[in-house]
Amino acid sequence: MKNLIEKVIKADRKACSELYNLFNKAMYNTCLRLLGKEEDALDALQETFVLVFRNIHSLEQPELLPAWIKKICVNTCLKQIEKKKKLQWSNFDDHTVLINLNDEDEIVDEYEYAQKLDAIQWALERLPEKYKIVFSLFAIENYSHENIADKLSIPSATCRSQYMRAKQKIIELIKNSHYAGSIQKISAKA
């Protein structure tokens, strides 16, 4: 990784392309989950890599490159959200943080799994923006409550309560929807 970073710093086109290809799909998915629209996600992805290439010389620990790029990506998305003050979720892919199928970790067929993801996505689209942001950063992007609170300039306790309210609202929405029969148990890490 260190060799690749050194080449990127020297503006080696092949190395820049290699770095982009290593991380663009994961960062695109992050952007899409946070911003909801493909057009916005592509804009944020482009801005993310502009910042990565412009600032990679400041990365002191090459082994932290993936986390460093993800941090830039999330911050870029949060800046876009602040500007637009709207958030819709249109893609909630293979993240299973919400789904605890049962205590025996029984394997479920793809159709049932897809139904559960659809139900969760449907509920997420109906959450207030502040809950969506906190929920996505914690449950999907694996940020700590302290990091989220710092990024959003809110107290950590507020972050935790918004996460819990989001979780409760998701469960409530699904239980009172046409998805109720397809969901056995929904849980999220606390």
Q: Exposed/middle/buried for 147, CB within 10 Å: 0-12, 13-18, 19+? A: middle
66 and 115: one domain?
A: no
* Selected residue with higher pLDDT from 182 and 17: 17
Bridge partners (DSSP) listed for residue 123 = none
122 and 78: one domain?
A: no
Distances (CA, A) of 29 to 40, 63, 117, 182: 12, 22, 15, 26
Domain assignment of residue 187, yes or no: no
The answer to whether the CB of 36 falls within 8 A of the CB of 87 is: yes
13 and 73: one domain?
A: yes
pLDDT digits (tens, 9 = 90+) for 92-136: 444 444 444 343 344 445 556 667 777 877 888 888 888 988 988
We report the CATH number of the domain holding residue 6 as: 1.10.1740.10
Domain assignment of residue 73, yes or no: yes
The region of weakest confidence among 27-41, 46-60, 108-122 is 108-122
Domain assignment of residue 36, yes or no: yes
Domain assignment of residue 12, yes or no: yes
66 and 116: one domain?
A: no
Number of domains composing the chain: 2
Distance CA 171, CA 126 (A): 12
Of 84, 99, 132, the residue at which a domain comes to its end is 84
The answer to whether the CB of 18 falls within 8 A of the CB of 4 is: yes
Domain assignment of residue 190, yes or no: no
pLDDT digits (tens, 9 = 90+) for 149-168: 888 888 999 999 999 999 89
- Mean pLDDT within 42-63: 93
Domain assignment of residue 189, yes or no: no
189 pLDDT above the threshold of 50: no
Note down the domain range covering 70: 2-84
Q: What is the pTM of this model?
A: 0.55
Domain assignment of residue 47, yes or no: yes
